[in-house]
Structure 1
Amino acid sequence: MDNHRPHPLVIVKLGDTFEALREHHGDFEHWIAAGLATQTLPILVIDPRRGDALPAPGTLSGAVVSGSHAMVSDREPWSERTAEWLARLVAHGTPVLGICYGHQLLAHALGGEAGNHPNGIEIGTVTVTLDEAAAADPLLQGMPAEFQAQVVHLQSALRLPEGAVRLAGNAHEPVQAFRVGDKAWGVQFHPEFDAEAMRGYIDHLAADHLKPGGIDPATLRDSVAATPAAAALLARFARIAEAHDAA
């Protein structure tokens, strides 16, 4: 008889979406949990910003680190505490997926650098191109060589940690995905965003970030499309976490 009780798959909530989106569409943790679609692992949401304890690496099946409207380079105490914890998870071999802020924080946590992108904001539905290394990557193998993804970021992983493998990029952002070790990934794009969320971000950022930069929000909004390949990464990661827990 198998008495194994599955360890939780943790969503580390490091930010909140805009209130108008949250009221009608839920928040980051809801979007991530829906994409993970795990039937075997309990989902646990923790928020280091409010002082939630960060679980010991051996008590988890995996961790997904959310996006945030904060900036990694501000080195907020909750962010630095989470970065130290991420380094412990990676050293332990616990599966990790960092999304946008989480992607940049993972790079920072392991000795890389996160900061302002020299060419400013990247936002909307964009094309991501896989590197050759992705063909043998446990998370990305079998994905289309090019796929559409939702993005919104002002900062980037400017320098990857030593030993990291770049897995994907595009013309604006050289590092759309990377892996460190066997089971830790960062993705700059948002697999949890659907088209409605992306249009909501365009609407909210139009006045302060798009129009001043010469970007037409209406044209950008019209170009938003569904991104099923990118969205599938969350379920792919859940399968990796399930396998890790079973082992």
Structure 2
Amino acid sequence: MQIGILQTGHAPDELQPEHGDYNDMFERLLDGHGFTFRTWRVVDGDLPEAVTQADGWLITGSRFGAYEDHPWIPPLEAFIRAVHADGRPMVGICFGHQIIAKALGGKVEKFEGGWSVGRQTYTIEGQDMALNAWHQDQVTEPPAGATTVGSSDFCRHAALAYGDSIFTVQPHPEFDSAMIEGLIEARGRAVPPERVDAAMQSLSMPNSSGEMAARLASVLLKASR
């Protein structure tokens, strides 16, 4: 089955030789689950014509805010609503988590508590999970019809489920520790030094990216049932 990746941002140029772009990271994360992939670079103005062009959809992270004024965001929100109406499976990560919530009537804001960077601990669907994070924005009000199924002390709405066809998470299972280290070097000036230090100390510990990959795949595989 084919998964359409809606790419809403690019990895820093200096990190792409080692890590690839965001779509490449998700293809690696979901390798072995029987998917093929096609990427639409929405951030560059490339959007699918119809929800039927893929069996399921995945929306990546981005350095942009879901509440910002960019010409590609309103068409993306309309596409999200069309996928939701069609019942086709969709997953969203970080910005993807936020833009799906906003498109369906929720609220996204720059969080007053600031940045979350590095390995963070969440409870998602009753399971403790450690996942890498890189964000300042959060979903502060989920839309009607969404259920909060994951949270942490820092992020109240860290995972949302919309029935059984849409599942979204705030952290980044596709970011390994080396990617977080690279982001700190490339974009870390905006992050308070004490949070950078804590993040660097956390990265040697194991995380739950494999478990989260399986959960994302289980949602997308609903299209084949």
Both structures adopt the same fold (TM-score exceeding 0.5): yes
Identity %: 24
Moved beyond 6 Å, runs of 4+: none
Deviation at 1:24, TM superposition (A): 1.6
Secondary structure of the residue aligned to 1:205 is: helix
Secondary structure of the residue aligned to 1:88 is: helix
Secondary structure of the residue aligned to 2:211 is: helix
Q: Alpha carbons of 1:181 and 1:243: their partners in 2 closer, same or farther (altered >3 Å)?
A: closer
CA offsets per residue over residues 12-66 of structure 1, 9 Å max, x none?
A: 1100111221122111111101111156432000012222232422332111100
Q: Alpha carbons of 1:226 and 1:235: their partners in 2 closer, same or farther (altered >3 Å)?
A: farther
* Matched-pair contact (CA < 8 Å) for 1:114–1:157: yes
Please name the residue that 1:10 is paired with: 4
Task: Quote the Cα distance in structure 2 between the aligned partners of 1:18 and 1:89.
Answer: 29
Task: Quote the Cα distance in structure 1 between the aligned partners of 2:74 and 2:177.
Answer: 32
Please name the residue that 2:208 is paired with: 229
Deviation at 1:221, TM superposition (A): 0.8
Aligned-partner residue type, residue 9 of structure 2 = G
CA offsets per residue over residues 117-173 of structure 1, 9 Å max, x none?
A: 11111111010113xxx25xxxxxxxxx21110001111111100121001111111
Q: Considering only aligned residues, what root-mean-square deviation do their CA atoms show, in Å?
A: 1.9
Matched pairs, number = 225
Task: Quote the Cα distance in structure 1 between the aligned partners of 2:177 and 2:117.
Answer: 12
Secondary structure of the residue aligned to 1:74 is: coil
Task: Quote the Cα distance in structure 1 between the aligned partners of 2:163 and 2:221.
Answer: 18
Please name the residue that 1:138 is paired with: none
- Asked if 1:175 corresponds to 2:169, the answer is no
Say which of 59, 71, 77 aligns to 1:77: 71
Q: Alpha carbons of 1:126 and 1:59: their partners in 2 closer, same or farther (altered >3 Å)?
A: same
Task: Quote the Cα distance in structure 1 between the aligned partners of 2:89 and 2:204.
Answer: 30
Q: Alpha carbons of 1:218 and 1:237: their partners in 2 closer, same or farther (altered >3 Å)?
A: closer
Deviation at 1:87, TM superposition (A): 1.0
Listed as ranges, the gaps of 5+ residues in structure 1 are: 1-5, 136-144
Say which of 76, 83, 86 aligns to 1:89: 83
Q: Alpha carbons of 1:76 and 1:216: their partners in 2 closer, same or farther (altered >3 Å)?
A: closer
TM-score, normalised to structure 2's length?
A: 0.92
Secondary structure of the residue aligned to 1:77 is: coil
Aligned-partner residue type, residue 152 of structure 1 = W
Say which of 136, 139, 143 aligns to 1:154: 136
Q: Alpha carbons of 1:219 and 1:170: their partners in 2 closer, same or farther (altered >3 Å)?
A: closer
Larger Rg: 1
Listed as ranges, the gaps of 5+ residues in structure 2 are: none
Task: Quote the Cα distance in structure 2 between the aligned partners of 1:60 and 1:222.
Answer: 40
Superposition pairs of residues 131-210 of structure 1, within 5 angstroms: 134=125, 145-210=127-192
